[in-house]
Amino acid sequence: MKAIVHAGQSGLEGLSYKETDGKQPGPGEVKVRLRAAGLNHRDLFLMARRTPQDPPFILGSDGAGTIEAVGEEVAPELVGRDVIIHPCLDWETPDIVPALPAIVGGPSDGTFAESIIIPARNAFLKPGYLTWEEAGVLPLSALTAYRALFTRGRLQPGEHVVIPGIGGGVATYALLMAIAAGARVSVTSRSEVKRHKALELGAHHAFDSQCEWKDEIGGEAADLILDSIGPATFGQYFEVIKPNGRIVTFGASSGDRMEIPVRAIFFPQISIIGTSMGSRQEFEDMLKFMERHSIRPVVDRVYPLQDTVQAFERMRQAEQFGNIGLTIE
């Protein structure tokens, strides 16, 4: 089968479109003929950390397609079913978090290929209202946003959510989900174009990430802030969050290390909460939530599988608004 394989050197230079050996499903597994897949920033981080000594592997955590074969202990009538892939392996419930969650596309082979072998439990019926491209980009970003907002962030209707750095997949899903849940949503971006797009999607307020946030946000302090940026913006959060507010962090695009003013946490009793990805139960709940509210992924641009490098270049330059997808013929 054709696949995007990473080997030989770190970064995008290690990617190649090549023929690889196909596999057959084992007990409890299914083989999915992929129709679409999606990029994540996680893919860039994985490639940057890999060395020439690491074995070749297939990237990609997001994907959707049709089950074409099943292994032992799997109902044969699943063949022909259109499915969307839950990328987190062996994580069943929200409260029992694996020490190191296993995920499709690292360490196991991923979705940037014509087919993939996954546990049957990780294949969910594709929502019928979604196109293949929409379903292909949905899994990891939407799951991360859902857990951040509802499981970890405990979002309630009427609360004010601030989403810094709008434009990426998780932030875009979080915007759509928070609005559907009845929250008031403010977003930030250095890009005027992205701020305008967020307002078109229903954001109540959008302002420049580099301004003084307390001047922009006025009297509408935040109940919840979703952080994917880290040190570049973290200091601003304490200027705009309510006492007893929550900061949920799931990324560090501006770096891993920062100083935190401890008194700004304990006097107003702020909670700083970490999250990443999500469980099988949350994936099921997320799909039901999206169907109930008819939420469609924001697809920025779609590339054929063989043009994956160009797709990653767009992501690396932070040019996208929403998710970047791949079509797999």
Task: Quote the pLDDT of residue 253.
Answer: 84
Both tokens assigned to 253:
């695009």
> Please, how many CA atoms are within 13 Å of residue 245, restricted to the half-sphere of its CB?
22
Q: Are residues 157 and 109 in the same domain?
A: no
Assess if residue 94 is contained within a domain: yes
CB 231 within 8 A of CB 255: yes
Task: Quote the pLDDT of residue 256.
Answer: 86
Q: Are residues 138 and 157 in the same domain?
A: no
Q: Are residues 206 and 257 in the same domain?
A: yes
CATH number for position 286: 3.90.180.10
Q: Are residues 245 and 115 in the same domain?
A: no
What would the pLDDT profile of 114-149 be if each residue is shown by its tens digit? 999 999 999 999 999 999 999 999 999 999 999 999
CB 174 within 8 A of CB 196: no
Assess if residue 185 is contained within a domain: yes
Assess if residue 58 is contained within a domain: yes
- Is the pLDDT reported for residue 239 higher than 90? yes
CA distance 174 to 178: 6
Percent of the chain surpassing pLDDT 90: 90
Q: Are residues 37 and 130 in the same domain?
A: yes
Count of structural domains within the chain: 2
How would you classify the pairing of strands 323-327 and 299-304?
parallel
Assess if residue 148 is contained within a domain: no
Q: Are residues 224 and 158 in the same domain?
A: yes
Task: State the sign of the Cα–Cα–Cα–Cα dihedral 302, 138, 206, 319.
Answer: negative
Round the average pLDDT of the chain to a whole number and report it.
95
**Contacts with 266 (C-beta within 8 Å, 6 or more apart), sequence order:** none
CA distance 188 to 206: 6
CATH number for position 190: 3.40.50.720
Task: Quote the pLDDT of residue 217.
Answer: 85
Q: Are residues 301 and 262 in the same domain?
A: no
**Contacts with 148 (C-beta within 8 Å, 6 or more apart), sequence order:** 170, 174, 226, 248, 250, 275
Q: Are residues 308 and 236 in the same domain?
A: no
Question: What pTM was computed for the model?
Answer: 0.96
124: phi then psi, degrees, rounded to nearest 5: -110, 145
Residue with structure tokens 């008819």?
Answer: 294
CB 94 within 8 A of CB 147: yes
**Contacts with 214 (C-beta within 8 Å, 6 or more apart), sequence order:** 236, 239, 240
For 181, the domain range is: 153-274
Last-in-domain residue among 251, 274, 297: 274
Q: Are residues 7 and 100 in the same domain?
A: yes
What would the pLDDT profile of 70-83 be if each residue is shown by its tens digit? 999 999 999 999 99
| Segment 193-208 mean pLDDT | 96
Q: Are residues 123 and 252 in the same domain?
A: no
Q: Radius of gyration of the chain from Cα atoms?
A: 20
Q: Are residues 49 and 138 in the same domain?
A: yes
Last-in-domain residue among 229, 248, 274: 274
Q: Are residues 232 and 249 in the same domain?
A: yes
